Structures are given as C-alpha cells and as structure tokens.
Amino acid sequence: MVARIIDGRSVAAEVRKQAAEEAKLLWEEHGVRPGLAAILVGNDPASEVYVGLKQKACEEAAFTFRRITLPEEASEEEVMEQIHKLNTDEHIHGVMVQLPLPPHLNENKIIDTLSPEKDVDGLHPVNMGRLLLGDEGITPCTPTGIITLLEREGVALRGKHVVIVNRSKIVGRPLMVMMINRDATVTVCHSKTVNLAGHTRAADILVVAVGKPRFITEDMVREGAVVVDVGINRVEGRIVGDVDFDMVKEKAAAITPVPGGVGPMTVAMLLMNVLKAAKRSVEK
C-alpha cells in the first residue's frame, strides 16, 4: 500500500479563505474587524518564525494584527501588564502568548491572566475545563487543526482507535478529549510508556508529536493506518517531522507530510478562533 498524502496546505488555504470571507461579512454588517495580538517574549528564532506566519495569515484575511515584543528578561508582571491592557482593548478579540516562554516565567500563571473570551489558543483553564466537560467553544489550534484535517479528508473517527504519542497541554491533552468527544477510543503515550511500539501498532489513527526526527519507524505502524505527524524538527537546514516518512508511506493508508501537513492547519485554526471571538463580541 502507498499512502495518500494529506495536503494540509490546501485544506488550510480553504479554511483561511472562509475566515477572510466571514471577516468581510462581519465588517460589512457590524463594522468589526477581527483583531489578534501576539505577545513574544525574547527572540527565539522559531518563535519569531511562528509569529511571522500568524501575522501574514492575519494580514491576508484582513484581520488586525498587533505584535507585542518584550525583552528576554521581562518579568511576569510586565507580561501580565500587557495582557491586562489587551483584555480591555476593544479592537483586539484574540490574545496569544507565543510559547515557550523563557524559563523564569510561569506559563500557566501568565495564561491565567488572559480573558477566557480572548484566549484564542484555548489554553486558559476555563476553556480547557469546558473542553473536558464536552463544550468545545474555543479549542487549542493544533488539535483542532488535526481534527479538521481528518474530517475534511473523510477519515471517520467514531469507534476508531486513536493513539497519541504526546501528553502536552497544546497537543496531546486537548486532542485526547476532542477525540473522545467524537467517539474515538484513545490511548495516550509519553516518555514513560512501556512498549511504545506495541501501542502504536494498534492504532487505526496514529498522531505523533515528540520532536525527534525519524522517531516513528515503519515497524511501529500498522498496515493501513492513518498517520498524523505533528513534529517539527530542523535537520541540516531542512524541516522534517517525527515519522520516517519515506518508509511509513509505503505502509500507511494516509499520512500528513512535514512541512505541509499539520503546521499550516494550526495557523488556519488560530484565524478561525479569532473570528469566533470577534463574532461573540458582537453577539454580547
């Protein structure tokens, strides 16, 4: 079997087009332009790239975009002060803090200060809690992108065994809940999992976000599985995922490439979350 390559770029382009169209309507009907503010602390090159991609996507969809850059040594209070200002800024509907933050800053404490209505990364405890209770208002962008990609590709989730190799707050935890909400059966693996390959081989749908190139080899994948590679690794100047793509594609039914798979979907879902927050601000 040779896998179908799932084209995240084209699905993301469709989602972004939809976001732009809906934003235009919002502007015409209510005079509201969706606005995103991104807070970047320090100058991590990867974070700069991600914020740049978000800015470009916002500009293309005619959203307002504001970048707030703080120095590496900024204190928690300084970051929170920016968040407080943005929480009450009526032109800004979504506020995101680019992660990871420098180690002296407490991520959870900072995210707690976001207004849940403007938390377009879906990481505030209120939004995470609602998700856990089965209420998917604003959900984290990467898991939402994965689910959207699979749904648009016609991959059924009900009754499927989904194995997720990751338990982080931005990928594995929310994805686990979103999969359960869609009637999948879920196994979550991490660095302390015993017999990882035994679990991954049992997957109908395997989602991997470890951050290690060629971590998932072909012997770890069941014939006919759907493989979603979330990993982003820089190897000799190139971006690669966590899956040994060339080998695994010979065995899987469908696979997401890196680049061009989950990454573009993450950015597209952020636009959708900003749009959702902007629409809600009108409904109030």
196-218 b/e (C-beta count within 10 Å ≥ 16 → b): beebbbebbbbbbbbeebbbbee
Exactly one of 82, 118, 119, 121 is catalytic; name it: 121
Catalytic pick among 82, 98, 204, 249:
98
Strand partners, 243: 216
Q: Which is nearer to ligand NDP, 127 or 281 (CB)?
A: 127
Angle at 97 between CA 276 and CA 105, to 5 degrees: 150
Q: Does 186 bind ligand NDP (CB under 6 A)?
A: no
Closest to ligand NDP by CB, 44 vs 89, is 44
Least CB distance to ligand NDP at residue 231 (A):
4
Structure tokens belonging to residue 243: 């899956």
DSSP structure class, residue 64: E
Piece of the chain touching ligand NDP by CB under 6 A; list 32-40, 62-70, 116-124, 170-178: 170-178
Least spacing, CB of residue 122 vs ligand NDP, in Å: 13
Tell me the angle at which helices 8-30 and 45-60 cross, rounded to the nearest 10 degrees. 50
Q: CB-wise, 158 or 192, nearer to ligand NDP? A: 192
Question: Contact between 266 and ligand NDP (CB under 6 A)?
Answer: yes
The answer to the question of residue 193 lying near ligand NDP (CB under 6 A) is yes
Residue of the chain from 192, 194, 236, 284 that contacts ligand NDP (CB under 6 A): 192
In this chain, which of 19, 57, 232, 278 binds ligand NDP, going by CB under 6 A?
A: 232
**252: which 2 tokens?**
């899987």
Reading the block at residue 257, the tokens are 């490439």
Among residues 138, 89, 133, 132, the alpha carbon closest in space to that of 277 is found at 138
Q: What sign results for the dihedral spanned by CA atoms 150, 154, 157, 162?
A: negative
Q: Give the integer Cα–Cα distance in Å for 244 and 249.
A: 8
Using rule CB under 6 A, residue 201 touches ligand NDP: no
Asked if 222 touches ligand NDP (CB under 6 A), the answer is no
65 backbone dihedrals φ, ψ, rounded to 5°: -130, 130
98 is catalytic: yes
Active site residues: 54, 98, 121
Q: Return residues touching ligand NDP (CB under 6 A).
A: 142, 165-168, 170-172, 189-193, 196, 209-211, 230-233, 262-263, 266
